[in-house]
């Protein structure tokens, strides 16, 4: 158990140092916020490095894998010291001060206590489930864990194997063209645990949810109030599908975290915080290294960023501080795509073939599934209504909303124009899982709409938020 925790802490430290360096001039981001960004970032960098080591035939054994990371951590620590980067800021306990302080009325205090308890208990219960249950879902075995197990025991990616076994092909119907982030996370955990433990090998999964939840809370609380932030977070966490996916070794929750974080990094970049451009690129690259669907989000996101940069050229935004770090960070995903295409691994699941058809009725089927409320709380139901009621959207919201809309539309196009996912079970599983990957982003966009509506509550059109809705 302790070694499993070490396996989680090392990527956190690596990510934290990178975040601290990139955001060294940002005075607004607090300690909790940086830790939340650090974990998924560090995990992504660790798995990319493992992949790079494996393709140059370095055995995937603990010290071969951990040593470069330790050296990087030491190097980055020295660098932060040399540049006098403040690593540990004084943590803020704003929520506790609001609950125990004299500023708020008792109804608000009780609400904050209840909501905080609900969030804490829910996340704790997901951690508990993770530690209780071994891997049990068939498609977790097939898509992710079979490869992980084979890679772990062979100390490599089976690159010297015969063509039918190359890179774990044919392992329980494994799709060898799926990005290896998830299997390598399991290998990383196993290296520390020293065997492939069906329970602890997936301990990384709920930490993604924890990072995302705390980050969402901090961001939403800063934009409006802690009460609104916690209320939305509690509803967000009540998605049954997200809870289930957070304690099993699926890739949908990590992808959803990378998509959400790339989106929020873009928001801050648009607001003039230069350090976030590189983070946006890094999270986008890690999304690309997590699942094959990611390009259909990352490409529209990059297009939105290009539009923003084009529209704001000559307004103090330099390419050196925006586009260059953004696109340079994307190189993190390049080795995977070079490997994938040079070895002709293909794109998407192996059973996916380009067999076009026209089934517009599938659009209606998707709408019915969304309206059925299965798997998600009411966010998908209310977001169109709130978008209409919020009135004319700000340019910032459009640039954030378009990549998510393009991504969601991509899936609907696939259902309508191809013969995949024809069976009821397969179709429903595909629709809900694909929705899961953009569910946190939809939650965040819903929050932005709620904020806009509150801003316009009393007829205020734009500008800064009314102090009465802000946290003290």
Partner 1 sequence: MFDETLFTKAYNVGSCLTDLLTVQPMHGASVNGWVDIPLTFVIMIYFMAITITAASVAYFMKKKNPFVQALRKSVLIAFFCSGLLYLVYSERTWYEWLRHDVDAYSGKSTEEKTFIDFGSIYDFALAAQKALKDGEYTLYTSNKSFSLIAQYYLLPKRNRTNSKNILVFYDTDAIYDDSTKTFIKGDTRVENAEMIFRYDAGAYMLRIR
Residues at the interface with partner 1 (CB under 8 A): 122, 125, 128-129, 132-134, 136-139, 141-142, 145-146, 149-150, 153-154, 165, 171-173, 197-200, 231, 234-235, 238-241, 243-245, 248, 371-375, 377-379, 381-382, 385-386, 389-390, 425, 428-429, 432-433, 450, 453-454, 456-459
Query: Closest separation between CB of residue 455 and partner 1, Å?
Result: 11
Q: Report the residue number, 96 or 389, with the smaller CB distance to partner 1.
A: 389
Please count the CA atoms within 13 angstroms of the CA of 409 that sit on its side-chain side: 7
Matching residue, tokens 């196009």:
413
Structure tokens belonging to residue 417:
């124009």
Question: Does residue 191 contact residue 65 with C-beta atoms inside 8 Å?
Answer: yes
Matching residue, tokens 């209310």:
382
Distances 200 to 4, 38, 61, 112 between C-alpha atoms, Å: 7, 21, 18, 33
Query: Closest separation between CB of residue 134 and partner 1, Å?
Result: 5
Distances 297 to 258, 261, 345, 402, 408 between C-alpha atoms, Å: 11, 12, 21, 10, 9
The closest of 323, 280, 276 to 22, measured between CA atoms, is 276
Query: Closest separation between CB of residue 382 and partner 1, Å?
Result: 5
The closest of 370, 385, 367, 371 to 450, measured between CA atoms, is 385
Q: Report the residue number, 5 or 334, with the smaller CB distance to partner 1.
A: 5
Residue 168 to residue 161: CA distance in whole angstroms: 9
Query: Closest separation between CB of residue 361 and partner 1, Å?
Result: 20
Q: Report the residue number, 24 or 365, with the smaller CB distance to partner 1.
A: 365
Q: Report the residue number, 18 or 221, with the smaller CB distance to partner 1.
A: 221
Q: Report the residue number, 329 or 434, with the smaller CB distance to partner 1.
A: 434
Residue 229 to residue 317: CA distance in whole angstroms: 31
Distances 323 to 6, 41, 303, 329, 440 between C-alpha atoms, Å: 35, 20, 11, 10, 26
Query: Closest separation between CB of residue 54 and partner 1, Å?
Result: 16
Q: Report the residue number, 135 or 264, with the smaller CB distance to partner 1.
A: 135
**What is the biggest distance separating any 2 CA atoms in the chain, rounded to whole angstroms?**
70
Q: Report the residue number, 138 or 331, with the smaller CB distance to partner 1.
A: 138
Q: Report the residue number, 146 or 185, with the smaller CB distance to partner 1.
A: 146
Handedness of CA 144, 283, 26, 454 (dihedral sign): negative
Q: Report the residue number, 238 or 413, with the smaller CB distance to partner 1.
A: 238
Distances 425 to 142, 422, 430 between C-alpha atoms, Å: 17, 9, 8
Return phi, psi of residue 317, to 5°. Answer: -95, 120
Q: Report the residue number, 20 or 251, with the smaller CB distance to partner 1.
A: 251
Residue 363 to residue 369: CA distance in whole angstroms: 10
Structure tokens belonging to residue 308:
């923003």
Query: Closest separation between CB of residue 136 and partner 1, Å?
Result: 5
Question: Does residue 177 contact residue 345 with C-beta atoms inside 8 Å?
Answer: yes
Handedness of CA 105, 106, 109, 115 (dihedral sign): negative
Query: Closest separation between CB of residue 163 and partner 1, Å?
Result: 15
Return phi, psi of residue 97, to 5°. Answer: -65, -35
Whats the size of the chain, residue-wise? Answer: 472
Residue 36 to residue 29: CA distance in whole angstroms: 11
DSSP category for residue 90: P
Query: Closest separation between CB of residue 61 and partner 1, Å?
Result: 15
Query: Closest separation between CB of residue 145 and partner 1, Å?
Result: 7
Q: Report the residue number, 220 or 454, with the smaller CB distance to partner 1.
A: 454
Query: Closest separation between CB of residue 44 and partner 1, Å?
Result: 24
Give 464's strand partners.
none
Count H helices and E strands in the chain, helices first.
Answer: 20, 0
Residue 88 to residue 62: CA distance in whole angstroms: 29
Q: Report the residue number, 234 or 332, with the smaller CB distance to partner 1.
A: 234
Query: Closest separation between CB of residue 375 and partner 1, Å?
Result: 5
Query: Closest separation between CB of residue 377 and partner 1, Å?
Result: 5
Matching residue, tokens 């645990």:
193
């Amino acid at each position: 158990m302790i070694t499993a925790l070490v396996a989680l802490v090392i990527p956190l430290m690596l990510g934290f140092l990178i975040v601290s360096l990139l955001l060294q001039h940002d005075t607004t981001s607090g300690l909790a916020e940086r830790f939340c960004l650090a974990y998924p970032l560090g995990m992504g960098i660790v798995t990319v490095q493992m992949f790079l080591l494996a393709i140059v035939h370095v055995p995937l054994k603990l010290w071969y894998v951990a040593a470069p990371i330790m050296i990087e951590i030491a190097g980055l620590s020295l660098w932060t010291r040399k540049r006098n980067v403040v690593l540990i800021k004084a943590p803020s306990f704003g929520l506790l001060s609001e609950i125990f302080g004299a500023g708020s009325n008792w109804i608000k205090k009780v609400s904050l206590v209840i909501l905080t308890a609900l969030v804490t208990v829910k996340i704790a219960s997901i951690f508990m489930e993770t530690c209780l249950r071994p891997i049990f879902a068939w498609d977790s075995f097939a898509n992710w864990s079979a490869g992980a197990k084979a890679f772990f025991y062979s100390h490599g990616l089976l690159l010297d194997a015969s063509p039918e076994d190359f890179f774990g092909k044919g392992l329980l119907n494994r799709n060898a063209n799926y990005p290896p982030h998830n299997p390598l996370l399991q290998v990383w955990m196993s290296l520390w645990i020293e065997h492939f433990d069906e329970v602890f090998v997936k301990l990384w999964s709920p930490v993604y949810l924890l990072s995302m939840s705390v980050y969402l809370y901090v961001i939403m609380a800063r934009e409006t109030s802690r009460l609104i932030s916690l209320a939305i977070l509690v509803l967000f966490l009540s998605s049954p599908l997200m809870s289930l996916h957070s304690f099993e070794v699926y890739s949908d929750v990590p992808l959803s975290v990378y998509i959400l974080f790339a989106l929020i990094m873009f928001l801050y970049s648009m607001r003039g915080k230069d350090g976030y451009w590189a983070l946006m690129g890094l999270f986008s690259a890690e999304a690309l290294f997590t699942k094959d669907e990611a390009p259909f989000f990352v490409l529209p996101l990059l297009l939105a960023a290009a539009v923003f940069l084009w529209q704001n050229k000559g307004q103090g935004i330099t390419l050196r501080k925006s586009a260059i770090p953004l696109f340079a960070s994307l190189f993190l995903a390049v080795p995977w795509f070079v490997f994938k295409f040079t070895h002709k691994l293909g794109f998407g699941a192996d059973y996916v073939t380009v067999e076009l058809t026209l089934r517009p009725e599938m659009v209606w089927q998707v709408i019915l599934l969304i309206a059925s409320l299965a798997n998600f709380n009411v966010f998908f139901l209310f977001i169109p209504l709130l978008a209409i009621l919020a009135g004319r959207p700000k340019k910032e919201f459009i640039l954030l909303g378009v990549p998510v809309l393009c991504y969601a539309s991509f899936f609907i196009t696939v259902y309508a124009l191809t013969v995949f996912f024809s069976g009821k079970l397969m179709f429903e599983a595909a629709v809900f899982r694909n929705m899961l990957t953009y569910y946190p982003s939809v939650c965040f966009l819903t929050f932005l709409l709620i904020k806009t509506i509150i801003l316009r509550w009393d007829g205020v059109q734009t500008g800064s938020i009314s102090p009465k809705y802000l946290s003290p």
